[in-house]
Structure formats: structure tokens, C-alpha cells
Structure 1
Amino acid sequence: MKTRQQRLLFLITLLSFCLSYAQVKITGRVTFRNKGIGEINVTLKGTYDGATTDSNGKFSFETSEKGNHTLSFTHPKYNDIEKQIVIENQDISVDAELKEQINEIDAVVISAGAIEASDRKRATALLTPIDIYTTAGADGQISSALTYLPGVQKVGESEGLFIRGGTGTESRIFMDGSLINNYFSSSVPGIAGRDRFNTSLFKGNVFSSGGYSALYGQALSGALMLESVDLPDQSSYDFGISPIFLNAGFQKLSGDKNHSYGATLGYSLLSLMQKVLNFNTDFIDAPQGFNGDANFRIKTKSGGFLKYYGMYDTNKMGVRTESLEPGSDYALVRINGKNTYHNLSFKQKFGKYLLNTGASYSYNRSDLNFSGETNTIETDKTQLLTDGNYINFKAVLERKINKISAVRGGFELNNTDEKLKFEEVNKHYQDLISSVFAETDLGFSNEFSAKIGIRAENSSFLNKSNIAPRFALAYRLAKNWTTSFAYGLFYQNPESKYINGPAHLDFQKSQHYILQVQRASEGRSLRFEAFYKKYDQLIKVRNIANIENQNQPVQTAINNEGFGYAKGLELFWRDKKTFENIDYWISYSFLDSKRDFMNYPVSLKPNFASEHTLSVVGKRFIPEWKLGVNLSYTYAKGRPYYDIATKDINGNVVNFTRNEGRLKDYNALNLSFNYLPNLGKKDAKAFTVFVLSISNVLGTKNMYGYNFSQDGSRSSAIVPPINTFVFVGAFISFGVDKTQDAINNNL
């Protein structure tokens, strides 16, 4: 009996032990926005029990644990969640709904109308300093390199960024948030001024061909936002030498690496190249210029940054052309320009707030002289003298709401004081444009975001105000595919050079509508944009030269009754991955634009707008030769030209088109080589680059337009100063090895 009881007790104990370790099944489904999601890690915290969800979001695993436990759900793209469960002897079903984890890396970026090149956009960065220097035909200039992107017209006879049917004066350029007045050097009619600023001064840029941020204003077409470099990695000395210029500079970094200072000097003269190459332009005074700049940068103990940059430059040239008017054999034009620019910016975090402030001052003097020449004797000398002082101040306060949302606001003051003198015309133009703005970035998810802004301006000269709303939306269609839409209202004062008398004028106005589809992956980028721009209140002028005085080339604004439109399609493809050591891009723009503005008698296609523009850029780096080979090609359909008269044969004042036509198509193939003898020498204390650049290799005879005589009976073509230009030069840096930068950027 006792033995039987012992056996029974043993069986009960064994059964209890087995039941205590019986397996319980835990199942469920994990969803995001009501759709099952795979690869979610489901674990019972503190144990080795768990599973991973399948493509439908379902999971299942068994456990022998008992009592109160925590079930966790984790994935890098979603916020972790935990659920409390009680495990007894019955199977358990647990469902979970996850929320997307918001972060700056995965969040969709609004990019309609904008191209950004910065450290934050390395995957699809465009036009970094290395890009600009190695784009054949860009001559190391930022503005020239931008003409190889969609939306920017190839206009060689006048400086400025001609964007999507807009004039060169309808775009603005900013440095560290502050407006740069007179970014381009002074020049004579028919020859475009060059960039005054060294490309290596800037570490990144945002180029907007429309729909730009509310933080910027006074531009009907687009804006270029340049960001200057921070502290250098180490002290260095730089030299550049070529047949047309000499320059030298240094950057000194402190021992604690918290501040630096530097300066450069340069001189350029084209007279030697005139003797070697065959120029179209007869330079009676070879183009020459002197430039110098200085900078300092200070990093504060609290993480703030103070930057200063100042520059001074002079330039002059003289040009002789065949006279179109009776009484002179030749027409002579001389320019003597002076410019100084100073920029001070400060950035600092105060708790959850980021303060960006900047101030700039510039002075520009342009002394333009006209005269005739007969039998080497100069006659009919006239002078157009312009002096301008410009002050800009801007402050922006920003606060992050979460990882991808922020709100910012601030104000801007832009003061202009200009004097103009031309024979009987004396003008003193003063204007203070006061602006306030606010903008918010709203990240609803990694797939959907919005930017909403508003800007208000007041002009003391016009005695008028405006309010400009702007917004943009972005949505991720699929992996690597996004779409953006942008709308904005933009205002701009009439150009001061046309305000030579009393007139009841208003702001010029444009509206932008931009739709973009983009695919971006590592090393490749595809962009498609469609846009529509509507212009209102454009300036209409009359030409005093053909009315009151035949010798005065002065136009004056009379009203804001001008209007117009621009619409088009753009395509951009860049590929740095398919072919080893080859970087190439293709851009195409279709533009349909008409305007009734300035002295146009009716609505016409602007003489600076080409219907079709195609650019191809290719760069091949050959490591074993230490050589970079760069090609670029640009085609643009011939632009229209007009000879617009302001009075008929009876002397009546009336605008009409006296001569018109279309130029031949523009074609240019450019080639450049960059040789790096230091390549591979890791301990090199000097870095050297030899450059050979040939613009318009095939010598195509391109044209930019025509000049006409006062009566329209004679004309002369406006052509580039030279058909094919050859540049050779060497750039040497001591104390810093830039070899790795060259390799990383496929120089």
C-alpha cells in the first residue's frame, strides 16, 4: 500500500513539473497604417524567446515562461513599442500598430525648383567647388557652371543668371544669408562681367530656379544661396600663375583650432593673350584688374561661429567698334570700375533656438565713357558715372519642433543709395526695403512634408507694401522616388537705372508653379520638372535717345503695365556610378515665354530666351596618369532679336519693331585637363594642379545679337570677345595636401 502511494505521489509530482514547463504559443500581427509589415523583431524581454514578422506582419513563437512579461516590437524605421502580457496555460494573441520613426536621413526633402550642394546632400550634391573647377567651359566661375544646369539660359553678352525666361537682374545672389549687391564686375555693353568672388570661398550652395524660400526676396526668377567655408583644416599658402593672372594667399589656423585668418591678392591682364590669340573684340585697353580680400573666422566656446569676409577690386578695359552712325569711323567705350564688399555673419544656439544674423556693405563705382573716333581723333566724349552704396542686415531665429520640423522667422533691411550722372541727367536714388518673414517646415512623416512661408516688404521709395505667400509639398512615391510641388508669389522693385524722373510705380510681380518628380540613389540622380510663371506689373520704358536727344542712351520707366509668362519642361540626369572614374550629367530645357515689357511694342519672345537648351558634361579621372579629362557641350536654339524704334518716319512717338529675326543656333564644345603630380604622395607638404582649358574647341562662330544704328539702316553682330580661348595655369598649395579631396570628388 505504501509503495502504491509513493508511486502515485511520484506521478502527480512529475505531471505537475511537466505542466509547469508546458509551451505556450504567442501569435499576432504587426501593422503600420493598417498594412502588415515584415522584418519586425518581436521578443519577450529578458528571455531568448521571440520571432520576426513575415511579409504580412504575422509572427508566432512558443515560450515556457509564466507570469507577467513584456513583449517588445523593434525596427530601425519605426518607434519601439512594448506591450504587457500575462502568460498562463493558454495561447496568447497580441497585435501591434507601429508608428514611423521620424529622422532627417529618411525624411523626404522638398526640392521643387532647388538644387543643393552641401555636406548634407553628398549623395546627389551638385556644383560643389570641385564640380565647378572641373566643368570644362565654366572658367572656374559659379555663374558660368550654373548654365550647365536646366533652367539657366546661355546668355553671353550680359552678366547675370537668366532663369526660366527671366532677365539677368531678376535673380539674386546671397552669401551666408546676406544679399550681395553687384556680384559681377563692371563691363562694357556686349561683354558680360565676371564673378567677383572666388569659388573656393564657398563650401556649398542652394540654387533655386523658382519657388524659393520666404527668407529671401526681391527676385522675380530665382536665387542662389552661397555658404562660405568654416575653419580650414590646417594653415596653408596658395599660389596661382598663368599668362593672364597672378595670385597668392594664405590661411592661418590657430593652435587651438578655434579661429583663423587669411588674405589673398591677385592681378590679371589680358594683353599677353591678345598677342597670341585671335580676338574678335578690338581692345584698345586690355582688360585688367586688381583684387584683394581678407577674412577671419572664430568658433566660440559655446559652439557659435563668427565669420568676416571683405574684398576690394578694380577693373578696366577699352573697346573699339566700327561706328554705325555718321560722323565717326569708330565708336570707343571705356570702363573703369571699383568695388568693395564686406560681410559679417554670426550663428549661435541659445537653448532650443538657433540665431543667424548677418550684415553686409558694398560700394560700387562704374565710370563708363563713350566717344567717337575719326582719323585717330576722339570726338563727342560723354560719361555715364554711377556710384552706389548698399547696406543689408538680416536676422533669423529658428526653433526645431522635432527631428524634421522647425519654425523660423526674422526681418531684413536693405538700403540703397545711388547717384547717376549722364550729361543733363542727374539722379539720386534712395530706397529702404524693410522685410519681415516667417516659415515653417512640417514633417508629417518620412513620406510627406510641407514648407509654408510668408514674406512682407515695404519700399520707402515706392511708398508701397506687399505680402507674398509661399508653400511647397513633398511626397515619397516609392523607394528613391519623390514628387514635390511648389507655389510662390514674388515681388521686385523696378531697376533703379530706369527711374530717372517722377513716376507712379509699383512692385513688379511673378507667380511660380512648379511640379517635380525625382529619383535619387547613391551616385545617380534623375529630375523632371514642369513649371509655369506668370508676370504682372512689369516695367515699361521709353528711350529718351530717340526722342529728346539722339545722343543719350538713357531709358526711363513710365508705368507698370508690362506682363508676360514663361512655361516649360526640364530634365536632368547625373550618373557617377555606372562607369568607373566617370562622372557625367545631361540637362535639357524647353522654354516657351513671351513678354510685353521695357520698350517692346507688343508681346514678344524675349531676346534672351532660347526655346531649347541642351548641355552634356563628362568627367573622366585616370588615376594611373594622375589626370582628369573634362568635356562639356552646349546647344541652344537661336534666340530672337529685335530692333525697336521709338518714333516713326513722321517723327511721331510710337514703339514699333523695325528689324527682327532669329540668330543661328548656339554650339560650343569645351575641353579641359587637370594634372595632379602629387597624387598618391600621402605625406606631401605641397599640392599642385596644372590646368589646360580650351573653350569652344571647334571654333564655332556664335552670335549673341545685333546692334543697330539710330535709323535702323546699319547693324553689327554682337559676338564673343574670342571664338576659341586657351587657358594654361598652375595652382600650388603649401602646408596642406588636397590629394584625397581630388580623389573623392573624381577630379
Structure 2
Amino acid sequence: MRTQGQKLLLLITFLSFIFNFSQVKISGKVTFRNKGISEVNVTLKDTYDGATTDANGNFTFETSEKGNHILTFTHPKYNDVEKPVTIENQEISVNTELKEQISEIDAVVVSAGSIEASDKKRATALLTPIDIYTTAGADGQISSALNYLPGVQKVGETEGLFIRGGTGTESKIFMDGSLINNYFSNSVPGIAGRDRFNTALFKGNIFSSGGYSALYGQALSGALMLESVDLPDQSSYDFGISPIFLSAGFQKLGKEKTYSYGGTLGYSLLSVMQEVFNFNTDFIEAPKGLNGDFNFRVKTKSGGFFKYYGMYDSNRMGVRSESLEPEYDYALVRLKGKNTYHNLSFKQKFGSYLLNAGTSYSYNRSDLNFSTETGEVESGKTQLLNNGNYINFKAVLERKINKISAVRGGIELNNTSEKLDFEEANKHYKDLISSVFVETDLGFSNQLSAKIGVRAENSSFLGKTNIAPRFALAYRLSKDWTTSFAYGLFYQNPESKYINEPADLDFQKSQHYIFQLQRASEGRSLRLEAFYKKYDQLLKIRNLNEYVQTADNNNGYGFAKGVELFWRDKKTFENIDYWISYSFLDSKRDFMNYPYSLKPNFASEHTLSVVAKRFFPEWKSGINLSYTYAKGRPYYDIATKDESGKTINFIRTEGKLKDYNALNLSFNYLPNLGKKDAKAFTVLVLSVSNVLGTKNIYGYNFSTNGSRSSAVVPPVNTFVFIGAFISFGVDKTQDAINNNL
């Protein structure tokens, strides 16, 4: 037995020796740009033999395989590599250089001048609908929420996005690619119009404060691109109630989930709140409005998508203010406004091409009636009536070159027809702006990308054509740090409301230079941006009479430069989301009726905003704070005639407004209504704007001779809003909690 055991042990030892002797060692190094790559899987194809590279990119393993084989190298961030090897009895050394895998997820994106909030950018999304609804002081309006981002000036006396030294009319807003004319409601001088569009209508947005895509034009300063929602998850019914409005709506989803339709109806009236709060504005007719909309969405069998949205609204108000002219006690202005907007868009893939096409139509009527009052006698009635019809058509064809490169091009038509009736200054303004554009996204690697485009426009009214090149470059410095640079030319027609008689005019022009440094990681985002804008051919105007000004020439010019900072943090503190934005702006312009180059009266040198949100999951409630500080803006009393009656512009009075301060507070509560498993979603909201009651001033109005003045102030210093929003058929409570409502 012992002899047999010894023989068996000897046999095992001999076989082990033979087996070990037949093993062949394979080793090498895997690199990218001469640096070793760790975690690369190195294997012999169709075998179990292989290894993983170490921190320096080195690998080694042994195999008993013989003959011709394939050695594979795989890593999620690099392209797979296969190398043939012949295994005999000697050691094998294989060194390999990998190429970076181009990926939409990993590729650096050009972001100079723009902030995107969409499903694709959810990790660093800014101002999604949830963000907007829960930003104290934003009143659920997209435009108001944008005031808490860097680059946007706080201007309360008139509507519009005042971006980096530009006027409110120098920024444009688009829906599904189509221009929205008259995004804001009609209003009276000194009171800003509100957003006409419901924030819940949109699923995402791209806000550009400069250097934006060649797909968009007719904006000297910036653009806001809104993308409407697709098919709803399920049918639902919605109700909203507060002391100032009532609303109801529904969305019906088809059984096969290929189509949906819905609508809303709302009515607003401010008279109840006038009895509660001490308003600065004397409303002789409380602001009121009626609005309704309808939508349908259809997904075709071939994968196409139709969207339609139509809306109508009307509003009225009347305001009395102390007259600045000594012969009258009061000045009165009454408004009747009407507006309708329709948008139809279509998206479809045709092989390697994607077609996006859309058209929109809008009609706007603003009926302003001016009068004076002495004692109880009203006189001097004057009507200023504007009617506008606007048609927009746009088609974009896009083709992917690879995963992160694409080329797109298209056409756009903007037709405007406006009529103004005011005593002797009647007019009918017509213009067709025809545009063609082409743009390419070039992804050289995951670290380097570029966007190059050009846009050409022709105006039938001006009888002139412009060509606007655009260029942007982005480079990833490290895992979390990227830098971007953007340059572009931008053109815009002179404002039609100032074109009341023949004039030799040209496009207004601006040049943008933007440099950005950004750090983005999970839950945190830091943006530093510097910019310089040069303006040429700005509009100069003169007075036709007390109410109407007319274009004179395009001899205006100016500049705007500054730096901006934005920091958002959703990670450091549990259930707390906060952001801080700061803007420094240095700007001067000689335009409109300015006698020479001045700091614009809508431009504040320093603007600081802080937003903080704390959510309590166990109570399903949240508290939101926002604070805005803006350095006092300049103001001017610009006279148009000297003492001899000669027409000449000169500054009669100038000064600086006091600094703007506003602290806002809001509470949100999500109670359970009905049965525990019922599909219902309810939000109760309490919002207080300007909690401390700071008496802010937006500017001054002056009498004809400059001897008297009055401050332009908010309609009310502090305002309290209480409302309830209820949805049946869909429960979004958990979504709201997850998004830190």
C-alpha cells in the first residue's frame, strides 16, 4: 500500500510539473495618451484566462492555451481593442494604446452663456417647473424665477427679461422652436405685465444670456427656449382656488397612450385683495382677466409627434395717479387687452434625419385710454390702440454624424402686421423677416467639442440683409471642471412701435464674447462667467407728441461687460437646496433719446440673489426663502426742448435710486385628501412677498417742464398669496418629495 501511495504521489507531482511547465506568461501595459489606465479587462477571447490592469496600466496572467488567439482589451470609457497573439512556449509582452469612447453622457457640452433644465440635464438642472413653483417671490412665473439667476436685472416697472445691460425687448422667448410674440400680458405704464403661459405647460427650458445658437435670431441680448410637455402619464383633472383666481382643467389620455387632449379655464380679480392690503396704486378698475387654453398631442405609428397648443386671454384695469401737470388733479389710464396664441409643432425621423417643424400665430390688441381729471370732471380723453398679427414658421433638419456630432440647418419666416391708431399718428407696419441658418456640433473627443453656425436674415421693411456667424468651444479640464468660450454676432430690427414715419434704418447689432469656468458634481454646481458685449447701430428716437415717439436713425452705440457667479448646492445639508448668484455689470449706451453715452436706467451695477429651500418629508411640507439686493439704478429726466423751444435732448435732472432689497417667504404643504390610496395630489401654498415691507422705488416720472416728479413704485409693498392646487387622477406627491418641493 505504501508503495502504491508513493507511486500516486509521484504521478501527481510529475503531472503538476508538466502542467506548470506548459503555462505561458502574458504581460504588458495599457495606456491612453501615454498614461496607464486602470481597471481594463484583458482576456484571451473565448477562454477564462485574463487579468485586470493595475493603477499604472500593467497586467500579467498565465495561460496553458497554445496556438493563435485574440487578446481583448475592454473598458467602459474606451473603445474595445483586439490583438492577435501566437502562444508557444516563450513569454509574451503586449502593449496597447486605447482610444477614448465618444459618448453623449461623458462628452463635454458647450454651455457658455446658457443654463439648461431638462430631462437630459437632470443632474445639474436649474429652474425646472418644481424649482419655479417653489422659489419664493417668483409667483410661479418663469420670467420671475429667472430674476434669481446671474445676468438678469431686477426691473419691476415693466415686463421683459433685462439681460446683461440689454432692454427687455432685446430678449426673445420661444416655444418648441417657434417665436412667442407678446409673451407677457398687456399692461399700463409703470406696471409690469405677467406671464401669459402656465409654467406646468413646459417640461424644460434653455436660458441663454448670450452666445446662443444660430437657430435663433432677432435678439440682441438673450433667448429663452421653452419645451412643452409630451403625453401625460395618465388622465387627470386639476383645480386651483385662491382669493384672486379660480381655475380648472383636465387632461385626457387615450387608451393606447398614443394621443391626449386637454384644456384649462381661469378667471382672476384683484378687488378682494384691495380691501385687505394698502395698495400704492389707485386702481379705479381692479385688474381682472379671463383666460382659456386647449391642447392636443398625437404620436403617429411611424414615430412622429404632433403638438398643438392654443390660448386666449383678455384683461382690463384702470389706474388713477396724481397729475404732474399743475392744471389737472389726476391722470387716468384705462386698459382693455386681448390676445390669442396658437402653436403647432411636428417632429419625425426619416432614416438618418430628424425633422423639427413648427408654426405659430398670435394676435394682440392693446387699447389704452388716457384722460385727466379735475375735481370730479374727466376730460382730455385720448385713445392709443394697437392691433398686431404675427405668423412664425420654422423648419430644422438635423443629421447625426456620430454620437456627439451633428449638423443641422433650416429656414424661418416671421411675418408682422401692426396697426396703430392715435389721433394724427396712424400707421400700418408690415415686415417679413426671412432667415436661413446652418449649424454643426463637432465632438472631437469627450474632452473637446465645438459648435459653429451662421445665420442670415432679410427684412422686407428695412430692405436689408445681415449675416451672423456664431462660434463656441468647450474643453474639459478634469473630471468635474470644464471651460467654455463663445463668440457671436446678433442682429435685431428696430422696435416697430417707434416706426411711425419714413426713416432710413438698419438692423441693430451686438457682438458677444463670453468665457465660462464651471465645476459640476453630484448635487453641486459652480459657474464663473465673464462677458463683453459691444453694441452698434442702436435706435435713436425723438418725440412726435406726449405719447408717441418715433425712430430717427441708427446712430446709437454702447457696451456691457461684467462677471457673474452662480453656486447651487443640494448635497451638503440634508433636504436643503440653496443657490447664490452674483452679477457685476458695467454698461453705457447712447440710444433712444439719450443725449450722449449714459449708464442705462435699467442697469444695476451689483445684483445679489440668495434662494434657500428646506423640505420636511415627515410633514410633507417645505419652507422657501429668497432675497434680492440690487445697487440703485440711475434715473434721468431727459428734456426734448430747451427754453427757446428748439428740439434738443438734454438731461434736466439725474440721480440714483436707493438700493433695492426684497426678502420673500413661502410655505408649501402636501396634505392627504380622501382615501390613502386615492390618486390625488394637493398643494397648499402661502406666499409672502417683501416680508419686511421695504419701500422700493423703480424710477421717477417728471412733468413736462421738469418742476414736479413722482416715484414709480410697486403696486403694493407686501403681498400675501394663499392658494390650493388639486389634481385628481394622478398622485405626484412622491415626485414632489423627491424633488424637494
> Shorter-chain TM-score category?
over 0.9
Partner of 2:202: 202
Instruction: Tell me, yes or no, if structure 1 residue 127 matches structure 2 residue 127.
Output: yes
In 2, the alpha carbon distance for the partners of 1:359 and 1:614 equals 39
Alpha-carbon deviation of 1:730? 0.7
After superposition, residues 16-165 of structure 1 pair within 5 angstroms as 18=18, 21-165=21-165
Alpha-carbon deviation of 1:17? 8.8
In 2, the alpha carbon distance for the partners of 1:164 and 1:566 equals 7
Instruction: Tell me, yes or no, if structure 1 residue 689 matches structure 2 residue 683.
Output: yes
Residues 178-222 of structure 1: CA distance to partner in whole angstroms, max 9, x if unpaired? 000000000000000000000000000000000000000000000
Secondary structure, aligned partner of 1:660: strand
After superposition, residues 54-453 of structure 1 pair within 5 angstroms as 54-453=54-453
Q: Does the 8 Å CA contact 1:318/1:333 hold for their aligned counterparts?
A: yes
Residues 414-433 of structure 1: CA distance to partner in whole angstroms, max 9, x if unpaired? 00000001111011000000
In 2, the alpha carbon distance for the partners of 1:709 and 1:175 equals 41
Q: Does the 8 Å CA contact 1:236/1:734 hold for their aligned counterparts?
A: yes
In 2, the alpha carbon distance for the partners of 1:743 and 1:480 equals 28
Q: Does the 8 Å CA contact 2:609/2:627 hold for their aligned counterparts?
A: yes
Residues 455-477 of structure 1: CA distance to partner in whole angstroms, max 9, x if unpaired? 00000000000000001111100
Q: Does the 8 Å CA contact 1:250/1:264 hold for their aligned counterparts?
A: yes
Residues 392-419 of structure 1: CA distance to partner in whole angstroms, max 9, x if unpaired? 0000001111111111000000000000
Instruction: Tell me, yes or no, if structure 1 residue 557 matches structure 2 residue 547.
Output: no
Q: Quick one: which amino acid aligns to residue 478 of structure 1?
A: S
For residues 252 and 66 of structure 1, do their structure 2 counterparts lie closer, same or farther at Cα, with a shift above 3 Å needed? same
Q: If the length of structure 2 is used for normalisation, what is the TM-score?
A: 0.97
Residues 103-154 of structure 1: CA distance to partner in whole angstroms, max 9, x if unpaired? 1111111111100010001101011111101000000000000000000000
Secondary structure, aligned partner of 2:195: coil
Q: Quick one: which of 671, 675, 680 aligns to 1:677? A: 671
Q: Does the 8 Å CA contact 2:673/2:680 hold for their aligned counterparts?
A: no
Alpha-carbon deviation of 1:21? 4.5
Instruction: Tell me, yes or no, if structure 1 residue 659 matches structure 2 residue 653.
Output: yes
Secondary structure, aligned partner of 1:369: strand
In 2, the alpha carbon distance for the partners of 1:81 and 1:90 equals 23
For residues 128 and 15 of structure 1, do their structure 2 counterparts lie closer, same or farther at Cα, with a shift above 3 Å needed? closer
Q: Does the 8 Å CA contact 2:620/2:737 hold for their aligned counterparts?
A: no
Partner of 2:7: none
Instruction: Tell me, yes or no, if structure 1 residue 703 matches structure 2 residue 697.
Output: yes
Q: Quick one: which amino acid aligns to residue 411 of structure 1?
A: I
In 2, the alpha carbon distance for the partners of 1:684 and 1:486 equals 51
In 2, the alpha carbon distance for the partners of 1:520 and 1:302 equals 38
In 2, the alpha carbon distance for the partners of 1:256 and 1:486 equals 45
Partner of 2:715: 721
Q: Does the 8 Å CA contact 2:441/2:449 hold for their aligned counterparts?
A: yes
Residues 23-55 of structure 1: CA distance to partner in whole angstroms, max 9, x if unpaired? 222221211122222221111122222222222
Q: Quick one: which amino acid aligns to residue 702 of structure 1?
A: N
Alpha-carbon deviation of 1:678? 2.3
In 2, the alpha carbon distance for the partners of 1:401 and 1:680 equals 53
Partner of 2:600: 606
Once superposed, which parts of structure 1, at least 4 consecutive aligned residues long, lie more than 4 Å away? Answer: 14-17, 679-682
Partner of 1:549: none
Q: Quick one: which amino acid aligns to residue 242 of structure 1?
A: S
Partner of 2:4: none
Partner of 1:597: 591
In 2, the alpha carbon distance for the partners of 1:181 and 1:508 equals 19
Alignment identity in percent? Answer: 84
Residues 134-179 of structure 1: CA distance to partner in whole angstroms, max 9, x if unpaired? 0000000000000000000000000000000000000000000000
Q: Does the 8 Å CA contact 2:542/2:551 hold for their aligned counterparts?
A: yes
Residues 591-650 of structure 1: CA distance to partner in whole angstroms, max 9, x if unpaired? 000000000001000000000000000111112222110100000000000000111112
Q: Quick one: which amino acid aligns to residue 647 of structure 2?
A: V
Q: Quick one: which amino acid aligns to residue 675 of structure 1?
A: Y
In 2, the alpha carbon distance for the partners of 1:38 and 1:127 equals 38
Q: Does the 8 Å CA contact 2:544/2:550 hold for their aligned counterparts?
A: yes
Q: Does the 8 Å CA contact 1:21/1:64 hold for their aligned counterparts?
A: no
Residues 211-242 of structure 1: CA distance to partner in whole angstroms, max 9, x if unpaired? 00000000000000000011111111111111
Alpha-carbon deviation of 1:365? 0.3
In 1, the alpha carbon distance for the partners of 2:61 and 2:676 equals 55
Q: Quick one: which amino acid aligns to residue 57 of structure 1?
A: G
In 2, the alpha carbon distance for the partners of 1:680 and 1:567 equals 56
Residues 560-600 of structure 1: CA distance to partner in whole angstroms, max 9, x if unpaired? 11000000000001111111111110000000000000000
Alpha-carbon deviation of 1:16? 13
Flag structure 2 segments of 5+ consecutive residues without an equivalent.
1-9
For residues 255 and 15 of structure 1, do their structure 2 counterparts lie closer, same or farther at Cα, with a shift above 3 Å needed? closer
In 2, the alpha carbon distance for the partners of 1:592 and 1:714 equals 30
Q: Does the 8 Å CA contact 2:41/2:74 hold for their aligned counterparts?
A: yes
Partner of 1:6: none
Secondary structure, aligned partner of 2:477: strand
Flag structure 1 segments of 5+ consecutive residues without an equivalent.
1-9, 546-551
In 2, the alpha carbon distance for the partners of 1:43 and 1:741 equals 44
Q: Does the 8 Å CA contact 1:678/1:739 hold for their aligned counterparts?
A: no
Partner of 2:490: 490
In 2, the alpha carbon distance for the partners of 1:554 and 1:222 equals 27
In 2, the alpha carbon distance for the partners of 1:726 and 1:341 equals 31
Q: Quick one: which amino acid aligns to residue 189 of structure 2?
A: P
Alpha-carbon deviation of 1:684? 2.3
In 1, the alpha carbon distance for the partners of 2:242 and 2:108 equals 46
Secondary structure, aligned partner of 1:478: coil
Alpha-carbon deviation of 1:652? 1.8
Q: Does the 8 Å CA contact 1:680/1:739 hold for their aligned counterparts?
A: no
Q: If the length of structure 1 is used for normalisation, what is the TM-score?
A: 0.96
Q: Quick one: which of 697, 722, 734 aligns to 2:728? A: 734
Residues 257-301 of structure 1: CA distance to partner in whole angstroms, max 9, x if unpaired? 110110110000000100110100000000000001000000111
In 2, the alpha carbon distance for the partners of 1:98 and 1:625 equals 53
Secondary structure, aligned partner of 2:417: strand
Secondary structure, aligned partner of 1:425: coil
Q: Quick one: which amino acid aligns to residue 35 of structure 2?
A: K
In 1, the alpha carbon distance for the partners of 2:18 and 2:84 equals 26
Q: Quick one: which of 721, 728, 737 aligns to 1:743? A: 737
